Amino acid sequence: MSQHLKTPAQLADEVRNLGPWHQAIQITPDFNTSDPYSATGELNRKQNQNISLLTTLYEGFLDTVRPLYPEGLAGKKFLDCACNAGVYCFAARELEAEFSFGFDIREHWIKQARWVQAHRTVSPTDRIEFDICDVYDLPRRGLPMFDLTMFKGIFYHLPDPITALKHASDLTREVLIFNTQATWGKPDGYLKPGSEDIRSLMSGAYGLNWRPTGPRTMIPVFSWLGFKEARLIFYRQNPTHPDLGRLEVVASKVEGLLDGLAQYPSLYDLPE
C-alpha cells in the first residue's frame, strides 16, 4: 500500500509514537502533525512533554524568503541547521529548491523529519536529505556550498556559538537567516552566559549557552563573517519571560539581495 493511503487515524498513531513534536507540518490534505495534540483545536503542551508545538513556522518561512527570492528557490541549495522535524526544508522544496540539507544533533527529530518526508503528499519531498549531525561537525561533512542557510533556534544552545555560526556561514554563498533567543533589559553589546538542561529534547547537548544582550552584539560578528548587508527583522521582549527577548536578522554576502527587506532597519546602521 502506498504511504499516502494511510488514514488520518493511522497517521495520528504514528505521529503519537514519534512524539513529542515541535513543528506542525501538513502531511496530507486532511492531516497535520499537530492534529493528535489538538483534537479540540487547543494545543495541549501536557500531552507533548511540555514542548510548544508551533503552527506558524512553515508560512513564516515562506513570508521571510519570498521577498528575498521572488522567483522562488529554483537552482538554489538550502541548509537548515538544527532542522528539528524539517519544516523549513519542506517549505524550501515548495519554493522549488534544488537541494536541501537539514541536520539536527538528536535522532528523535531526524526520525520525525524522515517520517514527514515519507508521508507528506501535499508538496514534493524529493531533493531533501536529513542527517544526525552536531553543528560543530559541519566542516567534516564534505558538504557543498549552500545559497540560503537557516540558523534558527540554535545559537543560544551552544557553548561556542560564534564558531558554530562561522561553520554555517562558511558554507553559505548568499543569505543567512538568523533567529535566536536573546536577553532583554541589559545593555546591548554582550553575550550573556547561561546554563541549560541537556536532557531536554529542545536544548543543546553541552549545558553552557550564550544569549546576545541585543542586536548590536551581532554587528561585529556578521561583519567579521563576511556579510555585506544585514537587516534587523525584529528584536522583541518575551511576554511570559520578561528578561528574555527574541532577535531575527537576515544577512547577505551579496549586495542587493536584501532589497526586498528595505522596510527593516540595516543592522550595521543601528544607532548607539
Ligand X SMILES: C[S@@+](CC[C@H](N)C(=O)[O-])C[C@H]1O[C@@H](n2cnc3c(N)ncnc32)[C@H](O)[C@@H]1O
Query: In the structure grid, which three cell numbers stand for residue 57, read together?
Result: 513556522
104 lies in the site for ligand X, by CB under 6 A: yes
Q: Least CB distance from residue 163 to ligand X, whole Å?
A: 11
- E strands of the chain, at which residues? 26-28, 31-32, 77-81, 99-104, 128-132, 146-152, 172-183, 191-195, 208-212, 229-237, 244-252
202 binds ligand X (CB under 6 A): yes
Cα atoms in the Cβ-side hemisphere of radius 13 Å centred on 181: 19
Residue 82 engages ligand X in binding (rule: CB under 6 A): yes
- Name the minimum Å distance from CB 8 to ligand X: 24
Q: Which of 23, 32, 149, 213 binds ligand X (CB under 6 A)?
A: 23
Instruction: Dig out the grid coordinates for 206 from the structure.
Output: 553541552
8 A C-beta contact, residue 209 and residue 182:
no
C-alpha cell at 142: 564534505
Among residues 261, 237, 70, which one has the least CA distance to residue 177? 261
Quick one: which segment of 12-20, 101-109, 189-197, 207-215 binds ligand X (CB under 6 A)? 101-109
Nearer to ligand X, 122 or 132 (CB): 132
> Is 91 an interacting residue with respect to ligand X (CB under 6 A)?
no
Binding piece for ligand X, criterion CB under 6 A, among 13-21, 44-52, 99-107, 236-244: 99-107
105 touches 133 (CB < 8 A): yes
Q: Which residue lies nearer to ligand X by CB, 86 or 214?
A: 86
**C-alpha cell of 267?**
543592522
Task: Give yes or no for residue 119 binding ligand X (CB under 6 A).
Answer: no
Among 18, 51, 205, 208, binds ligand X (CB under 6 A): 205
Beta bridge partner(s), residue 244: 183
Q: Is 84 in the site for ligand X (CB under 6 A)?
A: yes
- Pick the piece of the chain touching ligand X (CB under 6 A) from 26-34, 147-155, 212-220, 250-258: 147-155
Our finding on whether 247 is near ligand X (CB under 6 A) is: no
Among 15, 53, 105, 251, binds ligand X (CB under 6 A): 105
130: DSSP letter: E
**How many CB atoms neighbour CB 240 within 10 A?**
6
**Which of 170, 115, 114, 112 has the alpha carbon at shortest distance from 141?**
170
**Applying CB under 6 A, does 152 fall inside the site for ligand X?**
yes
Per CB under 6 A, 184 contacts ligand X: no
Give residues in contact with ligand X (CB under 6 A): 22-23, 57, 82, 84, 104-106, 109, 134-135, 152-154, 157-158, 202, 204-205
